[in-house]
Structures are given as C-alpha cells and as structure tokens.
Amino acid sequence: MKLLIQALLKIQKTALEANPAFMKARAAYSPEPGELGPIKYADYERFLPGFISAMGKFGLLEEILGEKKLCVLDIGTGPGYTPHLFNLFGHEAYGLDIPYSDAPKIYKEFTTALGIKRIVHRIQPFEPLPCFKVAFDLVIARWTCFNTKVSDDGSLASWDVPEWDYFLKDLLQYCTPNVRLFFELNKARGKHTFLDFFPNKELLAYFLSRGAYIKGRFISFPCCDRIRKG
C-alpha cells in the first residue's frame, strides 16, 4: 500500500507541476507550516501525501486504478484534487461545491486551472439535489461540511436520521445500481466521545442498518440496496 501511495503521489505531483495555469495560481499563496485554512491546499507537497493516504483507507485507490472507467461525484470538492486524480486515470469526475462567490478564492483558481467539471450547488436539509445529466458509479465526500442544520435555538447542529435519509435517497436517483458511497465525516458539534462523528446513537444505528461499513470517521456503502428499500 505504501508503494502504491507513493506512486500515485508522484503521478499527481508531476501532473500538477506540468500544468502552467495551476503553478501560476499556486505561486500566489505562501501557506505557513501547519496552516489549517483553505490556503493549505497551495502547499500540495505537504497536503497530498495525507490526502492520498486517506483515500487508501477509503479503499479508493483500487477504484482509481481499476479497469472500469467510472463516473465520479466529489461532494465539497474544494480545490479539486480528488476529481483531478481520478481524471488522470481516465475516469469522468465531477466536483460539486457552493458558488465561487461564497467560496475561498483559491478554490476557483485551482479548479479552473485543473479543468474540473464543477457543479454549483449548496446542499441543504430536505432540499433536492440538482438534476444531474449523468449517472454516478462512485460518490465521495471528504471532510463533510454540508451535513449541518440550524437548531431551534439558532445554533448549528449535525444532521440526524431524517436529513441523511432524505439526502441519500435523493442522491441515489442519480446513481447507477451498483454505486458505492464514501463519506469522511467531520466531528459532530460538541461531541467528544466514541460517537464523535455522530450526533447520537440513532444515526449510527441508521447507517449500520443500511449496510454501512464504519471505521472512525470513514463511512462507506459498498451496496446501497438497503438505503433504496428503507
């Protein structure tokens, strides 16, 4: 696995450095060591090793290198590194994210330079996704930020079962029968227990009942039949 990660890292790094538009956009940023904001993505030499390694934990490296060419949706694509990597291996990858006007400037500069097919949409609870013109074989969401809602007291809270159930069923309308879903969750707000990534045990039970494989913050659905029938 380590050698595979190193090989993919070299391939993506070489492709980035051979892209004059990307290197010009990248030169405008000088992230400090340990930078946590969006400009951290400009330091691709520091960012990409962990990024690709985490994809290995997802089981996505096999998907990237597989013979079958996939139609991929990357939710919250940010700078576009995920669809860029898939595209390098002949897949058809799309990024979905909020309007450029509401996103950090670096996202527009990088996705434009990398030629990412970017779908503009802000995911909201109980609101339908845009009508996609393709059917996805693979859906990825890294470091999810879309799964929040405004509570009755005005504070932000993580999605619960009803919001996730609506979202997943809506999403599957635009997917192939054998689609695989991969989510990497951010911490649920206010949680500091073994349920860090879930607002309550009911949501954890919901994911498990729908056939999810869960390892820490990583959630995958290798088969989505239970979601469709639930």
Q: pLDDT tens digit string along 156-214?
A: 788 999 999 999 999 999 999 999 999 988 776 655 555 567 878 899 999 999 999 99
pLDDT tops 60 at residue 229: yes
Phi, psi of 106 (to 5 degrees): -60, -30
Token pair 């056939």 in the structure block, residue: 211
Q: What Å distances lie between residue 75 and 26, 94, 95, 137, 191, CA to CA? A: 22, 9, 6, 14, 24
DSSP annotation of 31: P
Contact 177, 169 (CB under 8 A): no
CATH of domain 57-229: 3.40.50.150
Predicted TM-score of the model (pTM):
0.94
Handedness of CA 40, 45, 46, 51 (dihedral sign): positive
Mean pLDDT of 68-78: 97
Handedness of CA 138, 142, 146, 151 (dihedral sign): positive
